[in-house]
Structure 1
Amino acid sequence: MENFRNIGVMGREGNGVVETLRRLLVLLEGRNVTTVLDESLSPLLPDHGLRVCPRKMIGEICDLIIVVGGDGSLLGAARSLTRQSAPVLGVNRGRLGFLTDISPGEIESQIGAVLDGHYVTEKRFLLDVEVMRDGARIGRGDALNDVVLNSGTSGHMMEFELFVDGEFVYRQRSDGLIVSTPTGSTAYSLSAGGPIMHPRLDAIVIVPMFPHTLSSRPIVIGGNSEVKMVVCASNVVNPPVTCDGQVKITTQPGDAIYVRKKPHKLKLIHPLGHSFYASCRDKLGWGGHMPIEPSDD
């Protein structure tokens, strides 16, 4: 197991975040490690006395990044750390917390155990999106959860064509389309009726949003596939493309949106005993009881 010596702390302002940050910094101060603070957090902690670093550089000088906040905070951190190899550990100050799986009350025990070398690592792939207009790229973004093309206006459908690996799939009228990673399958994709995918799957799911035909269903494709969406000329709106609900690119009729797997993966760290299925039971309200074994009598 890697011995973490330089630890970056990231996050964003929110309910209880400052209190949790202070508790985390007290723990790190007693562990003989060098702590580097994301510059966006510095104003929340006056007189902290720590080294401050821009978000785009923090992954280059640290060998572990701890993110305090909800899954949205970790999504933002993941997009800024895609080209750096530092693994990421999440402390949950949000609601669901599929990615940030350490609760504030477990900081001393769980993060202490991670620093002692007791953890597991898993890799999650991200998506790269490019928007092309007349052969020129007019926008791009990264997504750990999903890339979404939608009409951008309530009550208005949009029309687009879908291609996978250059092969025409369908022309559709709907509120839009979600292209999701396995990580994002428990997020917006799930709300739209998409399947839950185990994080280790090398697959992408394409989920239509309120399609005009009842026969349209989610499609699961290979993780190395290229997805292309073309905004049809019949549209009277300029549909936006969003990455993890945060990065927004406005398209216009005739634009092509390409979605591909990124070559760089995010390394997530979990405490020992982490279970994807336990997270589903907890976060999604699945029945938590173990099945009763049949009797031998």
Structure 2
Amino acid sequence: MSRYRTIALFGKQDSELVAEALGELHDYLIQRGITVLVDDAFCSVAGLARDCAEIATIRQRAEVAIVVGGDGTLLAAARKLDAAEVPLVGINLGRLGFMTDIARADMLGAIDRLLAGEFTADRRMRLEVRVLRDGTEVFRTLALNEVVVNKGDLGRMIELEVRVDEEFLYVLRADGMIVATPSGSTAYALSANGPILQPAVPGIALVPLCAHGLTYRPITIADSCAVELRLVHSYDGRVHCDGQNFFDAKAGDCVQLTRSQHPLTLLHPPSYSYFAMLREKLHWSATPHR
């Protein structure tokens, strides 16, 4: 008997490989007696259209969501689900696949183990993002990986006044600042020489981008801290969330970042190992010396 009765399917759009995998997965779940809700982005795909559902229905009814694509597709699905407590399973058809950890060739076997209840839950913190302008909230969203405040399209630096729990840290003159969760520590923050945080670490990484100074270093703070980034002087900027959602900020705007009360749950197969994943994706030496 399956542990789940209703499963949602998400995938990368405009990809024949993803549509093919979704169709195979859809038919397999139907044969197992599962009610399938397909992201309505695939309402024009033959074989999937009849089970397409609006996101409000998926948020309310789905017990688990399976995402076919890469990490960006999983981030997009998480954004659509918003604060709904729907766990995600990732089938990797992307490049790196830090969070989509099931290979396409193993898809159906892994789904059998998912339905048997053999997967383990991995709760990932998210950031709640608010932008205040003259004390009024003008933007709010959630971010799973990171929030980047940068110079936008203009080829110059910006200045950010950085505060942690209302205590002044410094004024940063740089291309911008990355505020990363442990999940996002292996994404954009990694390319900016930020620290890798094991997902269970209750921390937030502040990683300056091309700082105009030799001593601005990444710093990890407790995930209970509230971070404020204020654009100072006449510098406008842009707030990017998970590389998929952005807001054009004005000089004087304050970007407030706190740990969300709505973490995201990833479900991993029994063989999953975070350190093995790092070795594979980052091409670290895989053979220990004896």
Q: TM-score, normalised by structure 2?
A: 0.96
The code of the aligned residue for 2:179 comes to V
Structure-2 separation of matches of 1:200 and 1:130: 25
2:39 is the counterpart of 1:38: yes
2:7 is the counterpart of 1:7: yes
Going from structure 1 to structure 2, the CA distance change for 1:29 and 1:264 (only over 3 Å counts) comes to same
Equivalent pair of 2:26/2:48 in contact (CA under 8 Å): no
Q: 1:268 Cα shift?
A: 0.7
The code of the aligned residue for 1:112 comes to D
Listed as ranges, the matches of 1:41-190 within 5 Å are 41-43=42-44, 45-48=45-48, 50-153=50-153, 155-190=155-190
The code of the aligned residue for 1:247 comes to N
- 4+ residue stretches of structure 1 with deviation over 6 A? none
Q: 1:85 Cα shift?
A: 1.9
- The answer for the alignment partner of 1:278 in structure 2 is 276
Q: 1:49 Cα shift?
A: 5.8
Structure-1 separation of matches of 2:52 and 2:131: 34
Structure-1 separation of matches of 2:244 and 2:56: 17
Q: When the two structures are aligned, how many residues end up with a matched partner?
A: 289
Q: 1:119 Cα shift?
A: 1.1
Q: 1:12 Cα shift?
A: 2.5
1:7-44 deviations in whole A, cap 9, x for unaligned?
Answer: 1111231441111112212321221111111111222x
When the two chains are superposed, the root-mean-square deviation of aligned CA atoms in Å is 1.5
Which stretch shifts more, 210-219 or 145-154? 145-154
Structure-1 separation of matches of 2:86 and 2:155: 43
The code of the aligned residue for 2:244 comes to Q
Structure-1 separation of matches of 2:252 and 2:155: 22
Q: 1:83 Cα shift?
A: 2.2
Structure-2 separation of matches of 1:27 and 1:270: 20
Seq. identity, %? 39
Q: Which structure 2 segments of 5+ residues have no match? A: none
Going from structure 1 to structure 2, the CA distance change for 1:22 and 1:281 (only over 3 Å counts) comes to same
Q: 1:47 Cα shift?
A: 4.1
1:92-113 deviations in whole A, cap 9, x for unaligned?
Answer: 1111111111111111111111
2:18 is the counterpart of 1:17: yes
Q: Which structure 1 segments of 5+ residues have no match? A: 293-297
1:156-198 deviations in whole A, cap 9, x for unaligned?
Answer: 1111110000000001110000000000000000011101000
The code of the aligned residue for 2:261 comes to P
Q: 1:142 Cα shift?
A: 1.2
Structure-1 separation of matches of 2:88 and 2:18: 17
Structure-2 separation of matches of 1:46 and 1:22: 9
- The answer for the alignment partner of 1:248 in structure 2 is 246
SS for the counterpart of 2:125 is strand
Q: 1:2 Cα shift?
A: 8.1
The code of the aligned residue for 1:25 comes to H
Going from structure 1 to structure 2, the CA distance change for 1:84 and 1:153 (only over 3 Å counts) comes to closer
SS for the counterpart of 2:91 is strand
SS for the counterpart of 1:263 is coil
Q: TM-score, normalised by structure 1?
A: 0.93
